[in-house]
Structure 1
């Protein structure tokens, strides 16, 4: 567990508190572990003002339960998505709740690893790509532009790199013919374990199902790729980030309702180009290895649209809704008004008063009335004070207010500042506390 808080000098502190062993990962056990660590360090849940987790896919339900338990005990401990964590990894993880998608990513990783396993195979991949570029150029089919036709190796999906999964899918699509060529070369070299693995991979990737998964996840991760990268930039404005979240949700909803036939057409065109059989969507879907006699009656369209397309998109939407719900989105937008950047251009008195309403335990009705008057004097002072003219981050504002002793003059404003700074979304996974907890 990591605690994030603001000390007496206005400095933002992140402190590793400890690791607590749990016998299982149920929400009750996790809550007990947090209570134990709090008690051991003389801390109180009543001072908690935020919570965030790394969002491990296999613990999504348990973490949601934990968030609820903490909020039930301390309603002001709002969950805030940690922008430092790779959103795309979380979206890929929830997609893998579908066993077909999980198998697809396993195959995609195996293809990348197998094709890039030796210098000979990588050289063969580059050679085949160059040959295809020459043919495309001669047939006047080559699309040129900055950055195009320069990728000569398959990208591996890393656990920490931005847009790594998206990049992997893009490279497999763009180099598909060359990948098939290299796998065929491995099969033809000599009958060994590598050839057997190449044969197995060829049987999988040269199917409509694999290509459907490939394009489905490419489109979904393409929709969320800009958001995933934007959230990881420390200079990203919160208001812009929340607008991207809203746009991303809307695009996913639109795709869910209107995008299936477009996707099938794109997949079918790709399959025809690479001589892959395209099934009739109205015929019965038969799971490979299953007898038609005992297979449940459903069409290919039902399988690909309902069991894959809609299911995976719904999982993405649910994940985004969990991380950026209506409450914490409004909370973040209001908090952004504290930013001192560009001479406090983001300042909005009404939103800061709304922010105080999120913390009824900290601001009584009388306090909010006093805050309303104090904000008028505060914004006039900081805009014309040279001490506050070059500040960039809210953490800088907290330090400067303490240095100039303005935290004593604008005490209500400072209370909001250090409350937000404690639960800054650009931090790592943390439990966020007041300094006097």
Structure 2
């Protein structure tokens, strides 16, 4: 279990620091709570001073009766629990893909395409080679430009329900490597000796070249693009909850605006892609020619199907799911915290009473974090300690568990094949140094050598040259 603490330092800055990696016997809430207590005792930290706790949505973490958050709340009712916003945003995507039949079928086909293209080294190499040849040809004809970070070789990436932004990355690459993927599927069909593989590759090629698939691909790229930008901002270590809620509200409004006013432009993008890739564009006035309706004899136009039953329904599901997944935006606590925003009447009146309206450094404050730093720099935090304390409490509430996720990602650099039998304490110490390397880089080698020299008697004097 990785523990990260979040606090506001003496300069009014938000700080997140990796505290420790704790070995737990199991993942029950009781064991996790005991691990937290042991770390707090070791570092002389008091649970009574804790004001926020943030985890993912697992039952052992957020359970109402026996979850970790409840065990901590039983000891300190002031520890406001925040379900990781980035996790909740990912669950919005996952739930929508499960609730809408066409979207669910679409992602099933996407998974099959990714698996087919990446099932062997030979196929992955074939896909990379086809994409490489396409890029070289486009560069020679000056259709695209070369440059740092542009037109790099890439492969398809399997999406995962717990990997933030993975669905968006997969769809972007699928869209960008469209012709190369079709070429690879055709190669599998022509050279395949297994009849099942030949049948699957042919089916996937046909689905990939259909208007229906292209339409849903573009729709999900638009939707996941909006949520992906939000997800990246939520994962910033210095993000505060007031600004996060504002960003969520902005995303909701953008999605609603896209639903009301974005249909025509979206449809043009789909048709342009189809024309570029030689895919037949359907007539929106024609009757739907697939599905159960054909058997029932119902007459439904393509326009009604694609706009009402897919476009509007999916957007409505996303917007409603965001409302359900982020109930914090409507709680009394968060509404009151939003009053602390620098642009609200409350802070404006405080600015007036503080005689800082005409101060240049306060003129363009948009964020609560910057307000805290400037209050400290101008010593206004001493004049109005209660207001500053409220701002501090707002800033320390965790928005996302991205810092914890980064710690676990760093473990692959520490616990390698050559160091796979290290003890927990040694691994924790190395991980702390690696994760907080910006702090340790500021420590001079001489100071480290002196500390090591004084720990025990040495046969010879250490020097920085020897280090």
Q: What TM-score results when the alignment is normalised by the length of structure 1?
A: 0.63
Q: 1:125 aligns with which of 119, 124, 127?
A: 127
Partner of 1:302: 304
Partner of 2:224: 221
What SS is found at the alignment partner of 1:159?
coil
Q: 2:315 aligns with which of 294, 298, 313?
A: 313
Partner of 1:259: 262
Between the aligned partners of 1:243 and 1:11, the Cα distance in structure 2 is 25
| RMSD over aligned Cα atoms | 4.4
**Aligned-pair CA distance for 1:42:** 11
Alignment of 1:226-245 (within 5 A): 226-245=229-248
Between the aligned partners of 1:194 and 1:173, the Cα distance in structure 2 is 23
Change (3 A) 1:411 1:43: same
Change (3 A) 1:347 1:291: closer
Between the aligned partners of 1:81 and 1:208, the Cα distance in structure 2 is 39
Q: 2:49 aligns with which of 10, 25, 46?
A: 10
**Aligned-pair CA distance for 1:425:** 3.6
Partner of 2:288: 285
Change (3 A) 1:269 1:419: closer
Does the 8 A contact of 1:116 with 1:122 survive in 2?
yes
Does the 8 A contact of 1:334 with 1:351 survive in 2?
no
Between the aligned partners of 1:262 and 1:349, the Cα distance in structure 2 is 39
Partner of 1:148: 150
Does the 8 A contact of 2:207 with 2:213 survive in 1?
yes
What SS is found at the alignment partner of 1:158?
coil
Query: Which structure has more RCO (C-alpha within 8 Å, separation ≥ 6)?
Result: 1
Deviates more, 1:232-241 or 1:326-335: 326-335
Does the 8 A contact of 1:186 with 1:198 survive in 2?
yes
Alignment of 1:178-189 (within 5 A): 178-189=180-191
**Aligned-pair CA distance for 1:44:** 6.5
What SS is found at the alignment partner of 2:114?
helix
**Aligned-pair CA distance for 1:385:** 11
Partner of 1:211: 214
Between the aligned partners of 1:172 and 1:10, the Cα distance in structure 2 is 49
Deviates more, 1:141-150 or 1:249-258: 141-150
**Aligned-pair CA distance for 1:240:** 3.4
**Aligned-pair CA distance for 1:413:** 8.4
Between the aligned partners of 2:90 and 2:165, the Cα distance in structure 1 is 7
Number of aligned pairs?
335
Deviations 1:258-314 (A, max 9, x none): 2122222211221222222221101111224x5735242210010000010001111
Between the aligned partners of 2:147 and 2:180, the Cα distance in structure 1 is 21
What SS is found at the alignment partner of 1:292?
helix
What SS is found at the alignment partner of 1:148?
coil
Mapped pair 1:34 → 2:68? no
What SS is found at the alignment partner of 1:160?
coil
